[in-house]
Structure 1
Amino acid sequence: MKNQPIYTSTFSAPSNIALVKYWGKKDKQIPANPSLSFTLKNCKTITTLKVFSKEEKGISFDLLFEGKEKESFRPKIQKYFENIADLCPFIMDYHFEIDTMNTFPHSSGIASSASGMAALSANIIAFEKQLNPSQSEEYFTNKTSELARLGSGSACRSIKGEVVVWGETTSIEKSNDHFGVEFPYTIHETFQNYQDTILLVDKGEKQVSSTVGHNLMYNHPFANERFTQAHNNIAQLKEILQLGDISAFIQLVESEALTLHAMMMTSMPYFILMKPNTLQIIEKIWNYRNKAQVPLCFTLDAGANVHLLYPLSFKKQVQTFIAEELSQHCQNNQYIHDEMGSGVENLQ
């Protein structure tokens, strides 16, 4: 008979969408350039952590996905525990049972590594607080973000805040390479409650992993120019978000998305992750924006899916456009409506 857990907690953590992209990293998940993201609300991972006493030291865990063992996830979690062992030496003294689920469909084409690692890290640091009750809220946020980064770089941007910056850059106070920081300036009402519909163009496995893609930046002929561009774009976006300049926002965000894919297409080896339907959606977005004068824009992750960003005030109009014009270019006509969120949540 299994022992009773000495500790149990449940946290949810959302995914996020980078507006200024991070592409390229150094040792220990340090970003080669800063990034800025919108935190999402609906696309999230919910993870329950149970902690058990044990006699022998060492990394020890069981992993469940939606209540069933998921062996394919084990290597990533094993690596995560190895990466955080110096920061959290207490993990060697306990056995962990991790039960995780996503609110979005499995294999929907949305990467769950960011939300998954953020939710797991929140549980780990909540348990540390149980061991050390004097832990402050700032400590919890920053260390959770740092742990999440060691599991998946972009996960550090899913902990706290609607807009999060990760990576040291001179234009953002307290920005650093080790954890994400909440955007420390007032966001104009234009960008509050911003909407993001994820158009699921391709739900299959990416042909090139993000880790491989990041590593190809080491000898990339345009890497240094790209890293400089990211710093400049964050400085510009800082002003745009405060002033509510939606035209400048559209131009910068779409340029960033296309730059990310341009870096992939000009690496060696080179690769193209956009699909024909990705391009058809982009063309329709541009045509609709020009004709209807609706301020919507797209961004892309390292894949074929399209994130359609638009103000709350245009929600009904844009979602009609999606249903009537864009859904036909999505795999099985699938898309997910989301919006700005605020980070991890303690559910238990």
Structure 2
Amino acid sequence: MEENKDITIYDIAKKLNLATSTISRALKDHHSISAKTIKKVKEACAELGYRPNSLAAGLRSNKTQTIGVLVPTIDQPFLSSLISGIETTAKKSGYNILITQSGDSYQEEINMTQALYASRVSGIICSLGMGTRDTSHFQPFIDAKIPLVFVDRVPHDIDTYRVIIDNYAAGYKATKHLIDQGCSRIAHFYAGMEFGTLFSERKRGYLDALRAHNLPIEEDLIIKLESLVFTEGIKATNKLLDLKNPPDGIFSSVDIIAISAIQCAKKRGVKIPEELAIIGFNDDPISAIIDPGLSTISHPAFKMGQISAEKILNHLLLPKKENIKEITYLNTEVIIRESTKKS
């Protein structure tokens, strides 16, 4: 054999002077093949270094035993933990995952959905990008009755499986925690997703918590972020601290922005939490490392990934592969650290 040549069942058949169909059945432990032949075939495979091409087999059967995963990025702690939950569950059932990233780009999300569809994935799990403007690019999956699960960042116009937290309740809890610590002028940082509901629901919870406690809603304390990067948080915090009457509390819809707010405030000599209490969202690992430790909202990413994969796997066992409308909510809680401990 040539070096680096992919060994095929044709090579095994030639070596053993057997039909390729016999080799194929033997590799599947088919009842029509004797135990002696099965043993001989598997020994030859091991000797020659044969590896079955599961993708090619999947393409022939239209079942690739692969779950497609489309996320904005894999370098955020929440999303990497989500993917880990998906993969752990998928592997237990003999499925692989194919991970793609949209980079929060609408066009790239379209490109990646088309790539996943062409790869004939058995199902798809998606968290929408910030720039998504509509969800028509997911329609081929629905038409082909390929199970589709939206997780965390979900659209408002497709009724299918959704695995989410109650972002409204979480936003309310975060704001109420600041109020309970004595804050009366609470700012909010949120991201501007064009099509999803996640950040708008957290903002709605923030606004309703202020109303419920008779606190004013001040537009100059509500800042829409262009992107979820550290420098955006620095810019937004400086804008707040430059106000004639700056806030005494900040609820950030993501941890990385809250952490940048802590560092910016400290650099300007603002005492945390005495002069400015800050709470984030996600409970990223860095939240417990930053000084002072960041209070935040738990976000069960790994569990969300597990459940999302379970939805796909259970759906594939159904006798009828009709689209199912189902929402699964997971709980969140306030994790209190030094950044808000005024009292």
TM-score, structure 2 length as denominator? Answer: 0.25
More strand by share: 1
TM-score, structure 1 length as denominator? Answer: 0.25
State the structure with bigger RCO (CA 8 A, min sep 6), 1 or 2.
Answer: 1
Structure label with greater radius of gyration: 2
